Amino acid sequence: MRDELRARRDAFLHKIKSRPIFMGILNLTPDSFSDGGRFQTIDAAVAHAKVMIDEGCDIVDVGGESTRPTAIAVPETEELARVEPVLTALTRVLEVPLSIDTYKAAVAARAVEIGAAVINDVWGLQKDPKMAGVVAETEAAVVITHNRAERDATVDIFADMRRFFDRSLALAAAAGIRNEAIILDPGLGFGKTSLQNVEAVMRIPDLKNYGFPILVGVSRKAFLGSLTGDGIEGTLIGTVAANLMAAVAGASIFRVHDVAEHVAALRVFHALHRSVAPSTGASSTSRSSLCGPSGRNFTS
């Protein structure tokens, strides 16, 4: 990894310890469930990335293959053809770090070579047997996401998550990936029923026992709509509500489409909780828990 990329990686990882991080989604796909086809040209992709950064985005997550449940798999060559020119353009004009949303080792390696500092693997190092080695060799930070091939309402989802993460972390250790470079993602919307997604959010405090930062990606996902009974894709309001709950539970990184709204919501959220006076009867413990397990400052 080049020195300037290493510096961006380290600054990103350090920032996670002090305040919430907003990961802006940049899909270069024609079939993503929410914004497919909108940013396939280089100019459109770069312009959207700049907008997200102006709104408060800390890192731009670039993806060349849709991860929605019914998406058709994209060949490695096609995925590379989508992400290479955009990543090249972004590295020339952006100062924030980039991440690559892929489960293919070759795509991840090329992305870091171009300028990505983080590899966001929705299969947690377990889909491509070469991925752990690529993460270690490139020295990129990595997001390890829990995933399942299919939904099963009878599964104890938290136990399944623990087994999955235990295996992923064993692969990471064997490859020589540093603990400081690892981020865990409970994989909301990946192989889970609506109730299992809810449980995954509520069990974030237990996942934090691993000692790694937690990323959540609930943005506009369909299960949010199912929770309210309207049966439609998750709305912005539903996404913000879910991310606020994840913040209470201790999540540190929020992967979102709507950056400005989430930055504003978390600022207000923290300001209100910080201003709770002792006269209201709220204990210091309850005020602390509302700000997250670490009492994280959402405005710094």
Active-site residue numbers?
Answer: 221, 255
Q: Where are the alpha helices (DSSP H) in 17-156?
A: 42-54, 76-93, 105-114, 131-138
Contact between 46 and 86 (Cβ < 8 Å)? yes
3-class secondary structure, 153: coil
In three-state secondary structure terms, 142 is strand
- Residue for token digits 């990882």? 13
- The H or E element that residue 121 is part of is strand 118-121
The Cα 64–Cα 27 span in angstroms is 6
Question: Which residue reads 């599964």 in tokens?
Answer: 155
Please choose, from the candidates 56, 117, 119, 121, the residue with its C-alpha nearest in 3D space to the C-alpha of residue 90: 117
SS3 category, 267: helix
CA angle 187, 189, 192 (to 5 degrees): 90
- The bridge status of strand 141-145 relative to strand 182-185 is parallel
Find tokens 């489409």 and name the residue.
257
The Cα 36–Cα 19 span in angstroms is 30
- Residue in 257, 258, 260, 261 with CA at minimum distance from that of residue 32: 257
Q: How far apart are the first and last CA of the chain?
A: 29
Length of the chain: 300
Nearest to 141 by CA among 103, 96, 98: 98
